[in-house]
Amino acid sequence: MKAYVFPGQGAQYPGMGKDLYNNSLLAKEMFEIANSILGFRITDRMFTGTDEDLKQTKTTQPAIFLHSTIFAAVMGESFKPEMVAGHSLGEFSALVANRTLSFEDGLILVSKRADAMQKACEISPSAMAAIIGLDDTVVEEACSSINEIVIPANYNCPGQIVISGSNEGIERAVEMLKAKGAKMTVMLAVGGAFHSPLMESARIELEAAIKNTYFHQPLCPVYQNVNASPSTDPDEIRSNLVAQLTSPVRWTQTIRNMISDGATSFTEVGPGKVLQGLIKKIDKNVAADGVSLQAI
């Protein structure tokens, strides 16, 4: 079975999407619709902005979403997913790709999500850190032993977990995990503690927007971050999407479940190759590639 996956925050790069805009009339039309919906020319920030411009959450998330969903649209008849999944923000791209959400509604929700997360970061100074080279249980036990908000936020692949929480909680967890033998710890360049209870204010704000958005019957199952399980029920998809903001991204479990359910190849749609690398670390026996404009 053919699976398509969609990247999340961190996959952005200066110039992203410019080739799509210049070589496809459909892509140009969709980018211009996005400029109108957002009320500013996000294409200028994507095509000519700096790394710093693209790191702002309110720009990063819509930019990655647009790159992914427009690429899928430009693929046309060659885009035939039998199952989809997205990493964090990428779940919104996946839901547009499998027709659960319209392009316009998906973009509006992503924009509101980005703004809400930005505000939550400003309310509670917080951080995220990647922990390399430890078993999941070791990281989980360390986080639960600290009397601060700090939780495993992204189960990216075996031996790579991202933790999320208060500044003090992350600092203490990193020191503890170094002592337990972590091969590497890396502080992430993000605005705050995504996928943790510190995003509760953003979750409430996003929930209100999602309740007012129509979710269609999807073309194929979406494997969602919160439970790593497939769904085709619009109400269940909506509920899981709300919970995602304060819950861990179970990417390792998601890919394993997709493989168990018959996925034999994965194609990443969007900027970068991060997910391809993670998938190969989760299971080296499955095919994982990306898409290029030249191949369309």
**Identity (one letter) of the amino acid at 241?**
L
Residue type, 90: G
Q: What is the pLDDT of residue 53?
A: 85
Query: pLDDT tens-digit profile of 62-96?
Result: 999 999 999 999 999 889 999 999 999 999 999 99
Task: For the chain, give every residue range classified as CATH 3.40.366.10.
Answer: 2-122+196-295
The predicted-structure confidence for 41-59, as pLDDT tens digits, reads as follows 999 999 999 988 888 888 9
Q: Read off the pLDDT of residues 13-25 as tens digits, 9 standing for 90 and up.
A: 999 999 999 999 9
pLDDT per position as a tens digit, 127-184: 999 999 999 999 999 999 999 999 999 999 999 999 999 999 999 999 999 999 999 9
Q: Ramachandran region of residue 159, left (φ > 0), alpha (ψ -120 to 50) or beta?
A: left
CATH class of residue range 2-122+196-295? alpha beta
Residues 7 and 271 sit within 8 Å (Cβ to Cβ)? yes
The pLDDT of residue 255 is 98
CA angle 265, 254, 230 (to 5 degrees): 90
* pLDDT for res 295: 52
Task: Look at residues 65, 50, 87 and name the one whose alpha carbon lies nearest to residue 250.
Answer: 87
Average pLDDT over residues 217-245: 97
Superfamily of domain 125-187: Malonyl-CoA ACP transacylase, ACP-binding (3.30.70.250)
In the chain, residues under CATH classification 3.30.70.250 are: 125-187
Please say if 195 is a catalytic residue: yes
C-alpha dihedral, 11 to 17 to 23 to 24, nearest 10°: 100
Is residue 87 flagged as an active site residue?
A: no
Task: Indicate which residue of 88, 126, 166, 196 is catalytic.
Answer: 88
Out of 24, 126, 195, 247, the active site residue is 195
Predicted local distance difference test score (pLDDT) of residue 293: 67
Arithmetic mean of pLDDT, 183-187: 95
Phi, psi (5° rounding) for residue 11? -90, -5
Which comes out higher in pLDDT, residue 156 or 118? 156
Structure tokens at 131: 């922990």
List CB contacts of 9: < 8 A, sequence separation 6 or more. Answer: 57, 60, 61, 64, 88, 89, 190, 194
pLDDT over 90, % of the chain: 90
